[in-house]
Amino acid sequence: MYTQSLILDRKSGDAAELEDPERLAHFQRRIDEERKIEPNDWMPGAYRQTLVRQISQHAHSEIIGMQPEGNWLTRAPSLRRKLQLLAKIQDEAGHGLYLYSAAETLGVSREELVDQLLAGRAKYSSIFNYPTLTWADIGMIGWLVDGAAIMNQIPLCRCSYGPYARAMILVCKEESFHQRQGFDIVRTLCAGTPAQRAMAQDALERWWWPCLMMFGPHDRDSEHSDLSMRWKIKRFSNDDLRRKFVDATVPQARFLGLDIPDPELRFDAIEGHWVTGPIDWDEFFAVIQGNGPCNRERLAARRGAHEQGRWVREAASAYAARHAAAAAAAAAAAA
Ligand SMILES: [Fe+2]
Ligand SMILES: [Fe+2]
């Protein structure tokens, strides 16, 4: 999902009021008519700011999200599983790069965004600050984390900002493969030995609640979400998306013979939805503020990787500069 911090700050919400009312009305009309906003179109500052924040957080999440899975690449239980996992992690890198490019269409540079992440000033999805302790966790990430991401990202395919909406179409297709490979891992474990089933159950118990937190705070606590809805960046509220996820996932868990770790979980026959017990928001905010089980480890690994890639960036810049100089010299000689 990776876009849980859709909460605008007070400043950007107010900024909308400062824009030219006529332009704002035209902009809103265009959105109401379901016409896409493109990079060169006029847009309110707060719309741009919201999208930069959301798309960059999404990109960061894809990139950081490679780490918990990368942890199991060398220990995948078979060659087939290793190939699938490798392909999935490569997809996530692609999503990250694609999304940085989408953010760049809003006038911010990738370097700036990466610097914000490395300096600890940017957020990414809380879910990637949890450890992957067993192979079953890799199944849970695909089944539940990518499953939650799909719930959130399918509506983003209709986001009012063209480049983001188009990026989401490709991303969602790949997420759907990720979800299935995760479910397949869990299904295999659940059809295996008692020890394998216990491993799957243990992983579900550790991932279930953090996955529900991925959708962000309850609607009543999620201020400014209204503006995102009005601008059709967001189409469904956090609680609606969470409910869809729970409704889709509970029957799958039952099919697998796994117990959802929530004694208060019940089916509301009148509403036609599953209802969960209370979510521990203290845990969510602790993780978001940098105090989850792996926050420091994740950022340290990213900083290390960035540092190790320095020579590649320098070589690419030197190569580009040499080519530009040669092209300029050839043009001067031809003139
Ligand atoms: Fe992804
Ligand atoms: Fe994914």
Q: Can you give the pLDDT at residue 2?
A: 60
Query: How confident is the model over 207-240, as pLDDT tens digits?
Result: 999 999 999 999 888 765 788 999 999 999 999 9
User: What sign does the CA torsion over 199, 202, 204, 206 have?
Assistant: negative
Name which of 198, 175, 202, 197 is nearest 187 in CA terms. Answer: 197
Cα 171 to averaged position of ligand 2 atoms, centre (Å)? 8
12: pLDDT confidence band, cut at 50, 70 and 90?
A: very low
Cα 156 to averaged position of ligand 1 atoms, centre (Å)? 13
What integer best gives the mean pLDDT of the chain? Answer: 93
Q: What number is the average pLDDT over the span 64-69?
A: 98
Query: How confident is the model over 269-304, as pLDDT tens digits?
Result: 999 999 999 999 999 999 999 999 999 999 999 999
Cα 323 to averaged position of ligand 1 atoms, centre (Å)? 34
Percent of the chain with pLDDT over 70: 94
Which ligand has an atom closest to residue 138 CA? Answer: 2
Cα 120 to averaged position of ligand 1 atoms, centre (Å)? 21
Cα 154 to averaged position of ligand 2 atoms, centre (Å)? 13
Cα 174 to averaged position of ligand 2 atoms, centre (Å)? 7
Cα 87 to averaged position of ligand 1 atoms, centre (Å)? 11
Which ligand has an atom closest to residue 142 CA? Answer: 2
Cα 171 to averaged position of ligand 1 atoms, centre (Å)? 6
Q: Can you give the pLDDT at residue 279?
A: 97
Q: Can you give the pLDDT at residue 19?
A: 79
18: pLDDT confidence band, cut at 50, 70 and 90?
A: low
Q: pTM of this prediction? A: 0.91
Burial of 210 (0-12, 13-18, 19+ CB in 10 A): buried
Query: How confident is the model over 193-203, as pLDDT tens digits?
Result: 999 999 999 99
Q: Does the pLDDT of residue 6 top 50, yes or no?
A: no
